[in-house]
């Protein structure tokens, strides 16, 4: 038994349009990366220019990586922290009030390892409103993180979640429900 | 149910003094980052200038990140490796002879996820003498790592430890005691 | 009980030749890091110049780190992804058709934590043909990853594997066998 990686190498993985966008984003991404930290609006504009759907007051830090902006939807008041990686080879949809903490990875790409050519797959990820993906957590391909879920620090999530539950560990498991206090405003 | 991230955004998270220090550390951190690798003394001096208490012979590598130097105490002969992150939003106290290996994270910051405004919390971390935090390990907020403990590669530590025990896994669990050989000097 | 880190600091960890190579690789590594992404051949040549044995069509990305090129053997059609770390203080032998995905770490270095001087150890790692080390996975010192094994995303591997098995979790455990489909070419 052996793989046939040479077939993977010669496969067409991205459309001509996407290949062009990637080259242009090398340049756009440079401005993103070296933009001053408080210039969240500039980074929102850059992402929109490259095809992202970005809500109001979305705070994305300059050291975060949006791999393919054209595959990103992100809602109002969501945030993506320092050195986080949105590896959106496939579509990544993020709702409102979502926090993705520093160094977390949302990974919408994988390979079919049962195929000798290891073809690239790009399964969509959905992260619903009010979710918190903590630092160094990993959200795998094809997953839905349901409303209000918390994915703990360093957790490796390989299955979709329930709503308003807290997950931790590798592999991540539900450990308790998330109950919101009433606020006193 | 929904979060109220707009309240988090407008909350005062840092004092005026701390905000000023952060701006100055952007500059100081630049010299730290681009200092030549063997210039450990220069980096110790820079950290002290920004309020760290740094012992003798402390070796911190240029690619390590000390988020807030004014929240760092570190004892003699301790070391912080390449690309390690001391995310000391709250105080981090590190004893003597401590090794924090490359790419480890010590994370003294979190959010109260039961509060709709997700307020920032900064629970102190204490790492006692003779501890080894291995590569890619994660030490969470509010934890005490007791004397001589070893936190294995990639372990995610969410509770305080016993002394002279070895921890591994995610979540990290004690796996054996650490017994020192007698040395032959 | 206490460690004697000062003994570690004064120990000779690398030969004179290796110390010289490290200094030269600081320069060579700069060209590697800032080489354009499609220049895989240039990076192969650079690694060979520094003593790596590199097969044909090996694709190593510019943000990957080969710590000590003179301790690397890598076979035809293998690839090392973005921000992956080959921490080859000791020898790392990688076979053919191996994929090491972005941000994975192969760590051929550790310390004897039962010795007060924490002496540096450099146990060899072998990764056989047709293996896939997924993103953020960790392969520890002294391990053999046998032919065709898959080490899942974020998995922390601390023991050698079986052939053609899939491992996941921290600590990593075998979860299923990897069966290749017949291809239709």
pLDDT score, position B95 = 98
The CATH code of the domain that includes C112 is 2.160.10.10
Q: What is the pLDDT of residues A125-164, one digit of tens each?
A: 999 999 999 999 999 999 999 999 999 999 999 999 999 9
Shortest CA distance from C9: residue in chain B: B77
Chains in contact with chain C (at least 3 beta-carbon pairs closer than 8 A): A, B
Handedness of CA C131, A138, C58, C20 (dihedral sign): negative
Over residues A14-43, the mean pLDDT reads: 96
Over residues C130-145, the mean pLDDT reads: 98
Shortest CA distance from A170: residue in chain C: C169
Q: Per the domain annotation, does A4 fall within a domain?
A: no
Q: What is the pLDDT of residues B107-147, one digit of tens each?
A: 999 999 999 999 999 999 999 999 999 999 999 999 999 99
User: Are C116 and B168 a contacting pair at CB < 8 A?
Assistant: no
pTM for the model stands at 0.97
Nearest Cβ partner of B170 from C4, C116, C170?
Answer: C170
- Tokens linked to B29: 């951190």
Q: Per the domain annotation, does A6 fall within a domain?
A: no
Q: Per the domain annotation, does B152 fall within a domain?
A: yes
Asked if C12 reaches chain B (Cβ–Cβ under 8 Å), the answer is: no
pLDDT score, position A183 = 62
Q: What number is the ipTM of this complex?
A: 0.95
User: Are A1 and C148 a contacting pair at CB < 8 A?
Assistant: yes
Shortest CA distance from C177: residue in chain A: A114
Over residues C164-178, the mean pLDDT reads: 98
Would you place residue C89 in the very low, low, confident or very high pLDDT band (cuts 50, 70, 90)? very high
Q: Per the domain annotation, does C72 fall within a domain?
A: yes
Q: How would you classify the pairing of strands C144-145 and C125-127?
A: parallel
Q: Per the domain annotation, does A166 fall within a domain?
A: yes
Nearest Cβ partner of B181 from C2, C115, C138?
Answer: C115
Asked if B9 reaches chain A (Cβ–Cβ under 8 Å), the answer is: yes
Q: How many angstroms separate the first and last alpha carbons of chain B?
A: 65
pLDDT of A185 above 70: no
Q: What is the pLDDT of residues C4-26, one digit of tens each?
A: 999 999 999 999 999 999 999 99
Distance (Å) of CA C175 to CA A7, C101, C144, C169, C172: 27, 20, 18, 9, 9
Distance (Å) of CA C143 to CA A115, C90, C122, C156: 26, 12, 12, 12
Asked if A101 reaches chain C (Cβ–Cβ under 8 Å), the answer is: no
Q: Per the domain annotation, does B34 fall within a domain?
A: yes
Q: How close, in Å, is residue B172 to chain A by CA atoms?
A: 9
Q: Per the domain annotation, does B68 fall within a domain?
A: yes
Asked if C165 reaches chain A (Cβ–Cβ under 8 Å), the answer is: no
Residue C76: give the domain boundaries.
14-176
Asked if A185 reaches chain C (Cβ–Cβ under 8 Å), the answer is: no
pLDDT of A1 above 90: no
Q: Which of C128, C169, C170, C135 lies closest to C149 in space, CA to CA? A: C128
Mean pLDDT of chain A: 96
B·C CB contacts under 8 A? 76
Shortest CA distance from B163: residue in chain C: C1
pLDDT score, position B1 = 86
Selected for mutation to probe chain C from B81, B96, B145, B153 (highest C CB count within 10 Å) is: B153
Q: How close, in Å, is residue C83 to chain A by CA atoms?
A: 12
User: Are C105 and B136 a contacting pair at CB < 8 A?
Assistant: yes
Q: How close, in Å, is residue C77 to chain A by CA atoms?
A: 6
- Tokens linked to C146: 């046998």
Distance CA B72, CA B95 (A): 11
Asked if B34 reaches chain C (Cβ–Cβ under 8 Å), the answer is: no
pLDDT of B185 above 80: no
Q: How would you classify the pairing of strands C110-111 and B150-151?
A: unpaired
User: Are A105 and C136 a contacting pair at CB < 8 A?
Assistant: yes
Helices (H), chain C: 5-10, 16-33, 40-49
Asked if C53 reaches chain A (Cβ–Cβ under 8 Å), the answer is: no
Split into its structural domains, chain A has a count of: 1
Asked if B169 reaches chain C (Cβ–Cβ under 8 Å), the answer is: yes
pLDDT score, position B184 = 55
Q: Per the domain annotation, does A184 fall within a domain?
A: no
């Amino acid at each position: 038994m052996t793989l046939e990686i040479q077939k993977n190498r010669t496969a067409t993985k991205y459309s001509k349009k996407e290949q062009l966008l990637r080259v242009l984003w090398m340049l756009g991404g440079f401005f993103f990366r070296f933009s001053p930290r408080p210039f969240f609006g500039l980074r929102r504009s850059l992402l929109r220019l490259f095809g992202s759907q970005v809500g109001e007051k979305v705070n994305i830090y300059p050291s975060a990586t949006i791999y393919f902006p054209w595959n990103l939807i992100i809602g109002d008041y969501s945030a993506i922290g320092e050195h986080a990686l949105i590896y959106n080879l496939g579509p990544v949809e993020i709702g409102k009030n979502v926090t993705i903490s520093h160094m977390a990875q949302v990974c919408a790409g994988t390979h079919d390892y049962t195929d000798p050519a290891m073809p690239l797959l790009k399964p969509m990820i959905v992260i619903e409103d009010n979710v918190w993906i903590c630092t160094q957590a990993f959200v795998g391909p094809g997953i839905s993180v349901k409303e209000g879920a918390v994915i703990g620090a360093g957790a490796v999530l390989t299955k979709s979640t329930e709503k308003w539950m807290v997950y931790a560990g590798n592999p991540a498991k539900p450990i308790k429900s998330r109950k919101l206090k009433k606020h006193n405003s």
